[in-house]
C-alpha cells in the first residue's frame, strides 16, 4: 500500500511556484530520504503533507485517506520546529501535555519509555527552557513518536546533534522502520541518508529530479566509476603507449609510483585496462573500484 501519495501537488506564493506538480508514492514501511539544497522546497512539501499549509493545487493522501484529515493526523507523527516547544514545562510534562492535546493521551510509563528511546532518560524532570539545541531536537522526535504513529515526518532529525547523539537517533529511526513505521525524513547529511534510507528522492527547484533506492540512483550514474590500480613498475618502453591508451579509455588519470587512479564510464573498461596492463608485461596487484556515493550523485545535479 502507498502510505503517502501525491498527485500534481503544487504550492505557490504569489507568482513564485515553490512546489511544481509533484507526483510521489511512498510505500508502507519505507524509510524515505528527501534531499535537496537549501530552498529546494523540502519543508514546503512536508508542511503540505502534515497539514501545516494548504496546497495551491493538486491532491495528497496519507494512509489511503485524502488529506487533510483529522483522523489521519492522529496516526501521523510530526517532529515540531524546536522553537515551538514549551520552555516552562519539563520534558515529561511536555510529552504528556502535547499527547493529550492531540487526542492520544500518553501514560507516564510511555513518556518515560520514549524519553529513554531518544536518549533523554536522565532529563525528564528538567524544564525544556534549560535544554540545549540537541536536547530539544531529541524531545521533538520523542513528541513525534509518543503516540506510536504509522507515518512519521522528520525534518532534519539529526542536524545540530553531536555524532554520538546522531547515531542514537539514526538507530532509533531504523528501529522504527523495522517495526513497520513509514518514515519520511529530510536531511542535509548525505552520508546518513545513504546509510539508513531505503528510498531517496532528490528535489531541485520544487521538482523531484531523481528517485529510487541507492542502487537505482547509482545505476543512473554509472558514468563515474573510479578505479584505483596498484601495479608493478611499467617498463620505460611501454609507458608512453600505456598512458596514452589509458587517457583515451577514461578521464581524470592520476599517476603515482606503481599505482594510478582513473575514472571510467563503463565497467567493461576495467577488464580492457587489465588486458592492456598485461600486454605491457605489467602485473596488477590490486584493483579498487569506487562506486559513486550519494554525494557524487547529489553534487552532479
Which residues are near ligand ATP by CB under 6 A?
A: 13, 18, 36, 38-44
Query: CB of residue 6 vs ligand ATP: minimum separation in angstroms?
Result: 15
Q: Minimum distance between the CB of residue 185 and ligand ATP, rounded to whole angstroms?
A: 12
C-beta of 81 vs 267, nearer to ligand ATP:
81
Burial of 65 (0-12, 13-18, 19+ CB in 10 A): exposed
Q: Name residue 200's beta-bridge partners.
A: 33, 212
Question: Using CA atoms, how far apart are residues 102 and 74, in angstroms rounded to an integer?
Answer: 7
**Of 136, 131, 46, 128, nearest in space to 90 by CA:** 128
Q: Name the phi and psi angles at 209, rounded to 5.
A: -100, -20
Choice between 20 and 110, CB closer to ligand ATP: 20
- Bond before 89 cis per omega within 30 degrees: no
Q: 156 vs 296, which CB is nearer to ligand ATP?
A: 156
Chain position carrying cell 513564485:
16
Give 43 or 90: the residue with its C-beta nearer to ligand ATP.
43
Q: How far is the CB of 57 from ligand ATP (least distance, A)?
A: 16
Instruction: Give me the least distance between CB of 225 and ligand ATP, in Å please.
Output: 30
| Shortest Å distance, C-beta 179 to ligand ATP | 28
Gap between the Cα atoms of 35 and 203, Å rounded: 6
Nearer Cβ to ligand ATP, position 16 or 109? 16
Amino acid at each position: 500500500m502507498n502510505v503517502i501519495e501525491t498527485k500534481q501537488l503544487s504550492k505557490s506564493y504569489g507568482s513564485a511556484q515553490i512546489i511544481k506538480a509533484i507526483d510521489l508514492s511512498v510505500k508502507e514501511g519505507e524509510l524515505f530520504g528527501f534531499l535537496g539544497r537549501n530552498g529546494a522546497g523540502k519543508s514546503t512539501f512536508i508542511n503540505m503533507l502534515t497539514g501545516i499549509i494548504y496546497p495551491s493545487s493538486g491532491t495528497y493522501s496519507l494512509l489511503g485517506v485524502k488529506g487533510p484529515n483529522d483522523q489521519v493526523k492522529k496516526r501521523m507523527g510530526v517532529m515540531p520546529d524546536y522553537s515551538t516547544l514549551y520552555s516552562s514545562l519539563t520534558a515529561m510534562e511536555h510529552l504528556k501535555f502535547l499527547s493529550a492535546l492531540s487526542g492520544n493521551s500518553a501514560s507516564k510509563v510511555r513518556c518515560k519509555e520514549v524519553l529513554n528511546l531518544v536518549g533523554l532518560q536522565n532529563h525528564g524532570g528538567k524544564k525544556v527552557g534549560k535544554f540545549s539545541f540537541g536536547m530539544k531536537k531529541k524531545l521533538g522526535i520523542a513528541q513525534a513518536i509518543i503516540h506510536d504513529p504509522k507515518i512519521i515526518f522528520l525534518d532534519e532529525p539529526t542536524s545540530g546533534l553531536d555524532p554520538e547523539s546522531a547515531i542514537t537517533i539514526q538507530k532509533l529511526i531504523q528501529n522504527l522502520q523495522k517495526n513497520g513505521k513509514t518514515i519520511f525524513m529530510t536531511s542535509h547529511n548525505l552520508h546518513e541518508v545513504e546509510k539508513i534510507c531505503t528510498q531517496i528522492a532528490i528535489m531541485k527547484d520544487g521538482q523531484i529530479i531523481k528517485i529510487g533506492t541507492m542502487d537505482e540512483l547509482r545505476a543512473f550514474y554509472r558514468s563515474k566509476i573510479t578505479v584505483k590500480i596498484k601495479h608493478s613498475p611499467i617498463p620505460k618502453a611501454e609507458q608512453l603507449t600505456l598512458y596514452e591508451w589509458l587517457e583515451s579509455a577514461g578521464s581524470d588519470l592520476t599517476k603515482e609510483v606503481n599505482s594510478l587512479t582513473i575514472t571510467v564510464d563503463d565497467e567493461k573498461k576495467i577488464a580492457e585496462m587489465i588486458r592492456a596492463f598485461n600486454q605491457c608485461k605489467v602485473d596488477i596487484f590490486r584493483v579498487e573500484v569506487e562506486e559513486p556515493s550519494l554525494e557524487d550523485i547529489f553534487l552532479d545535479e
